[in-house]
Amino acid sequence: MKFAVIGHPIDHSLSPHMHHANFKSLNLDYGYEALNIPPAHFEHIRDIISDKALDGFNVTIPHKERIIEYLDEMSDEARAIGAVNTVKIENGKWIGYNTDGTGFVKGLQAKYGDLTDAHILILGAGGASKGIAYALSQVTDKPISVANRSMSRFKDWQLDIQSYSLQDVASIAHQFDIIINTTPVGMHQSQESVMSFEQLKPDVLVCDIIYIPFQTAFLKEAAEKECATYNGLDMFIYQGAESFKIWTGLDSDIMTMRNAVIKKLNPTTT
Ligand code: ATR
């Protein structure tokens, strides 16, 4: 079988490396390549992919929304999120899925355990936040809280969540078992803080969806306040594993995928 990831730019994508490690571990003679598709060429995407005779592909920045008009079908999850990161090609039919949110939640379950009773706050209300909130809504009984800089972002949310302004987070933050940053704020040192780490639950788990750098300034600050932290590496690994499952029906070798990515990233220098 043959797969790919489409994006622009795509040179630094770790997806081919991660998937090849998985194929090797599972003894599968499959291919996975990175295809650079500039936005100006996107209108030819069906022809470009057909020429490659792929069985499926991943979609990354900036094409996750644009791909939708070229699909034949979409999963409920992808439709609710309004973005697609995985396409399965079946007898020429293109079916869109979104595994980003599920990927984050699968990784979080492996790290945290059962999420049924967890009180969870998501910072940011963009595409990544929506995907994670959707996936969380499938596994937790508690209402999910989402805080954003601008309240207008919540207008197109179809999910039943509790929405807050980021400005009010300090007064509610003590309620949560898990806090997930999906904003780009606090990626690097010297940026402002997206929230205060005072008055959190002592056993709170503070998460970021970013893994380059391996420890964002946001997670560093949380660690300095003695909070447990969790970066976005597993989200990347598990979204890939979920895509692979959609394409092949098979489970992935998560450990091998993670080791392959970590070796490439060399976190001591990122
Ligand atoms: P993604 O797909 O990664 O979620 P996105 O859809 O562009 O990206 O969403 C970015 C999120 O980060 C939004 O919630 C955005 O807040 P707004 O809706 O108010 O724009 C948030 N964000 C970006 N820069 C921010 C900043 N400087 N402070 C607070 N939130 C910020």
Q: Is the CB of 181 under 6 A from ligand 1?
A: no
Q: Is the CB of 131 under 6 A from ligand 1?
A: no
The pLDDT, as a whole number, for residue 158 is 86
Average pLDDT for 118-147: 97
Q: Which stretch of 140-144, 150-154, 263-267 has the lowest confidence by average pLDDT?
A: 263-267
- Read off the pLDDT band of 270 (50, 70, 90): low
Among 64, 88, 106, 130, which one carries the catalytic annotation?
64
Query: Tokens at residue 212, please?
Result: 């380059």
Alpha carbons within 13 A on the beta-carbon side of 233 = 25
Q: Is the CB of 98 under 6 A from ligand 1?
A: no
Identify the CATH number of the domain defined by range 101-230. 3.40.50.720
| CA 80 / ligand 1 centre spacing (Å) | 18
Question: Same CATH topology for 2-97+234-265 and 101-230?
Answer: yes
From residue 12, give the alpha-carbon distance in Å to each of 15, 35, 89, 184. 9, 11, 25, 19
In this predicted structure, the answer to whether residue 3 has a pLDDT above a threshold of 70 is: yes
Residue 64 falls in the annotated catalytic set: yes
**Residue of the CA atom closest to atom 9 of ligand 1:** 126
Q: Is the CB of 148 under 6 A from ligand 1?
A: yes
- Read off the pLDDT band of 117 (50, 70, 90): very high
The pLDDT, as a whole number, for residue 200 is 96
The pLDDT, as a whole number, for residue 187 is 87
Q: What is the pLDDT of residues 149-206, one digit of tens each?
A: 999 999 989 899 999 999 999 999 999 999 999 999 988 887 688 999 998 999 999 9
Q: Which long-range contacts (CB under 8 A, 24 or more apart) does 67-75 make?
A: 67/96, 68/96, 70/45, 70/46, 70/94, 71/95, 71/96
Q: Is the CB of 128 under 6 A from ligand 1?
A: yes
For residue 73, the surrounding DSSP H or E stretch is: strand 73-74
- The binding site for NADP(+) consists of 76, 124-128, 209, 232
| CA 184 / ligand 1 centre spacing (Å) | 7
Q: Is the CB of 219 under 6 A from ligand 1?
A: no
Strand 93-97 versus strand 86-90 pairing type: antiparallel
- The atom number, within ligand 1, closest to the CA of 209 reads 3
Question: How far is C-alpha 251 from the geometric centre of its chain's CA atoms?
Answer: 18
- Read off the pLDDT band of 10 (50, 70, 90): very high
Helix segments in the chain, DSSP class H? 15-25, 45-52, 76-81, 100-112, 127-137, 169-172, 217-224, 233-248, 254-265
Query: Tokens at residue 241, please?
Result: 């594993």
The pLDDT, as a whole number, for residue 236 is 98
- CA-CA distance, 181 to 18, in Å (whole number)? 24
- Give the pTM: 0.95
- The atom number, within ligand 1, closest to the CA of 124 reads 14
Q: Write down the domain spans for the chain.
A: 2-97+234-265, 101-230
φ, ψ of residue 67 to 5 degrees: the values are -65, -25
Q: Is the CB of 153 under 6 A from ligand 1?
A: yes
| The CATH classification of domain 2-97+234-265, taken from the options 3.40.710.10, 3.40.50.10860, 3.20.20.80, 3.30.1360.70 | 3.40.50.10860
φ, ψ of residue 207 to 5 degrees: the values are -120, 150
For residue 178, the surrounding DSSP H or E stretch is: strand 178-181
175-190 in b/e form (b: 16+ CB < 10 A) is: ebbbbbbbbbbbeeee
- The atom number, within ligand 1, closest to the CA of 153 reads 18
List CB contacts of 221: < 8 A, sequence separation 6 or more: 186, 193, 197
The pLDDT, as a whole number, for residue 53 is 96
- Read off the pLDDT band of 269 (50, 70, 90): low
Q: In this prediction, what percent of the chain has a pLDDT beyond 90?
A: 94
- The binding site consists of 13-15, 60, 76, 85, 100, 124-128, 209, 211, 232, 239
The pLDDT, as a whole number, for residue 268 is 73
Q: What is the pLDDT of residues 201-239, one digit of tens each?
A: 999 999 999 999 999 999 999 999 999 999 999 999 999
